[in-house]
Amino acid sequence: MSVFLSNWEMKSIKLWLSKMHHYKDKSKSERANEAKTILQLKHEMIGNGRNRIVYDLNNGYVLKVAITKWGIQNNKTEFKIYKHCPIDLQEHLCLVKEAGHGWIIMEKMQVEVPDKIYDKGLIELKNKFLDAGIKPKDMWKSNMRLSEKGKITVVDYGNFIMY
């Protein structure tokens, strides 16, 4: 059950996940294209990485769908870290609204972090995560956005490790 996804979309994601292993030896772009073809979602695909593809739900949120078994784990990790991290760290993590097997819905954040803010705040933010027992991996500028409050916010933290 999802507030954001229709039953048809949920079934489509489930179908893709059942076929995903057939494409494990494909390149990331080939996997993303196969997933897009099988999923047949009406939403615009706005990006993809090694393990997930991202759709714009046109309501202020994005849908991340796993395209590898690591993508499934990335979604689980983002959900777990967001729900269980200290409240003062949540403002530095992209809001998670819903999650299910192989998918997650998060706030859509578009404002890129200016170099000056990124360079100044990166070390401090990494230390905040480490102090909370979270090893921040992949803290690249491309994985971060600026919140409305001007805070650096990590939008892709699927490779973080929570101890």
Give the residues across from 93 on adjacent strands: 154
pLDDT of 146 higher than 90: yes
pLDDT of 131 higher than 90: yes
- DSSP letter for 93, please: B
Token pair of 76, please? 């689980």
Segment 134-149 mean pLDDT: 95
Segment 58-75 mean pLDDT: 97
Q: What pTM does this model have?
A: 0.95
Query: What is residue 1's predicted lDDT score, i.e. its pLDDT?
Result: 83
Domains and CATH numbers, the chain: 7-87+94-107 (3.30.200.20), 115-162 (no CATH)
Cα 134 from Cα 85, distance rounded (Å) = 8
Nearest alpha-carbon partner for 104 in 138, 135, 137, 79: 79
The neighbour count for residue 26, using CB atoms within 10 Å, is 14
